[in-house]
Amino acid sequence: MNVRNCCRVILAGAAILWGLAANAQQVTIKMWMHEHPPRIAIDKAIVSAFEQANPDIKVDYAVLAVSEFTTKLLTAFASGSGPDLFNQSVVQVAQYYNSRVLAPIDYAAMGFADEQALTGNYLTGFDGIRFAGKLYGVPTEVSNYACYLNNTIWKAAGLDPSRDFPKTWEEMPALAEKLTLRDPNGVPRRRGFDFDWPSLPAYWLTLNTMMRQRGANLFDEANYKATFEGPEAEHVLQYLVDWVNKYKLGGPQYTDTRTDFLAGNLATDCSFGIWGIPQMHDAKIDYTVKPLPHFADGKHDNGYDAYAYYMMVNARSSPAVQKAAWKLARFYTDHAVELFTGAGLFVPRQDVLQKTGDPDSQVFLTELKKAAFAPRVVGYNQIVDILARGRDAMMQGGQPIATVLPQMNDDMNAVLKREKARAEAMLK
């Protein structure tokens, strides 16, 4: 072997070693997002930009159907093949925290000096992901509902949407009646206003919002205790039962309110967030946005509870992957303006807030400042199911509140007691 060949062999060997070393250093992040069609193209562009800016990090991006997202996430965690970075709703985070799936935020990896450097840029949004004083995720969407009025229907009924929307729940039945069209048998053919009964998350938010308005809560989160009891709970349930059975203004047997409102079959709906504005434009609905009514003798004038989606990191991923995942989380959430303008995902960051100067958006922001976060309980799926079954028993089964309410509270406490025992066993 001459000198030239010898050099070639050495260079080739060095190249192979360098390649192997580079490959060994490359980190792959498995990122799972739920399906939200307007967001996917933006996601892909962000991921691509991130990979270009960080050649040592590869992102394995996947979109999962909303209906399967929660189950697939859990089964993936169970089999040890869960994502390193994932986006999930606030109502599901308690069980991940309970099972030690969530990694606390790595501020250094995200490029922040401390918590204040991150949260200082946001109006609100972190309360839903704070456990025992630590943050475990970054919001990718923060939302709250307000009431959308179909101006055309309101005006046809002789009402002024800007002036006649009631401030209290007590005035609501009379107003809804004016907007309701009934057949000769009294059955509503077009509802004036109705709660979004078929949507369990909406029902969850409605109950807790009304409880807070009356100065109570559905849960004592810290102590794993259901507190859906007493005169305040009875008052809220009586109002809802009367809505269905006394005033016959709607009920769980009707189509979901969003679909009906966008189809022009419902005069008023309070189950859209700020993200509903483009949907109103698409459906060519002339609308007005109003804050949620409250109880005349209520203790707080809060609107709907806020809810959020968070970007979280799997605590079971390797430290290097976790760091890379937090870096991507920062990169992703820094594109909040694009996600808002392109996919309607609102996050109350300073840069996004500058895009929300219109009066309709201001209604949501004013309500958001007063809103508390939706309760975070372990076993959410079972608990919301208990509430829904109780709702049906009262409204469709005609059972008295005095019977159903304690039963619901007991059933929820049984679930929470079990989950608390599991959490304590995990700590041991």
Partner 1 sequence: MRRFNRHWWGLIFVLPVVIYFAVFSIFPVLFGFALSLTDYDLLDPPNWVGLDNFQALLSDRLFLTALGNTLVFVAGATVPVWLASLLAALLFDQAFRSRNVLKTLFFLPVLPPVVVVAVVWRMLLHPNGVMTWLAGSWRGVTEIDWLSNTVLAPLSMIAVHDWAAIPFFMLIWLAGIAGIPPELRDAAHIDGATPLRTFWHIDLPLLRSTAVLVAALSTINAFQTFTLQYVLSPDPGGPANSTLVLGLLVLKYGFQYFRMGDAAAISVVMFAMILTVTAAQLWFNRRAG
- Give the footprint of partner 1 on this chain (CB under 8 A): 71, 74-75, 77-78, 95-96, 99, 101, 183-185, 187, 198, 252-253, 379, 381-382, 385, 388-390, 392-393, 396-399, 407, 411, 422, 425-426
- The nearest distance, CB 292 to partner 1, in angstroms, is 25
Which lies closer to partner 1 via its Cβ, residue 279 or residue 382? 382
Q: Per DSSP, what are the bridge partners of residue 306?
A: 373
| Nearer to partner 1 among residue 122 and residue 203 (C-beta) | 203
Cα gap 99→109, rounded to integer Å: 24
Question: Measured from the CB atom, is 2 or 185 closer to partner 1?
Answer: 185
Which lies closer to partner 1 via its Cβ, residue 1 or residue 402?
Answer: 402
The Cα–Cα gap between 109 and 326 comes to 6
Distances (CA, A) of 246 to 135, 188, 242, 403: 45, 13, 5, 19
Comparing CA positions, the residue from 415, 412, 416, 402 lying closest to residue 237 is 402
Whichever of 119 and 206 has its CB closer to partner 1, that residue is: 206
Give 383: exposed, middle or buried? Use CB within 10 Å, 0-12, 13-18, 19+: buried
Tell the residue number behind the tokens 């609905």, with chain if given: 285
Q: Is 256 exposed, middle or buried (0-12, 13-18, 19+ CB in 10 A)?
A: middle
Q: Measured from the CB of residue 137, what is the shortest distance to partner 1 in angstroms?
A: 17
Alpha helices in 269-318 (DSSP H): 276-282
Cα distance between residue 181 and residue 186, in whole Å: 9
Nearer to partner 1, 100 or 155 (CB): 100
- Tell me how far apart the alpha carbons of residues 140 and 339 are, in angstroms, rounded to a whole number: 9
Say which amino acid occupies 345. Answer: L
The greatest distance separating any two alpha carbons of the chain, rounded to the nearest whole angstrom, comes to 104
| Of 96 and 126, CB closest to partner 1 | 96
How far is Cα 397 from Cα 353, in angstroms, rounded to an integer? Answer: 46
CB of 185 to partner 1, least distance (A): 5
Nearer Cβ to partner 1 (80/359): 80
Min separation Cβ 82 and partner 1, Å: 9
Specify the residue, 184 or 359, whose C-beta has the smaller distance to partner 1.
184
Distance CA 345, CA 110 (A): 21
Q: Provide the 3-class DSSP secondary structure of residue 149.
A: strand
CA dist 157 and 116 (Å) reads: 51
Residue 9 neighbours by CB under 8 Å, 6+ apart: 1
Q: How near is the Cβ of 320 to partner 1 at its closest, in Å? A: 23
Quote the least distance from Cβ 256 to partner 1, whole Å: 10
Q: CB-hemisphere CA count at 13 Å for 196? A: 24
Q: How far is the CB of 181 from partner 1 (least distance, A)?
A: 13
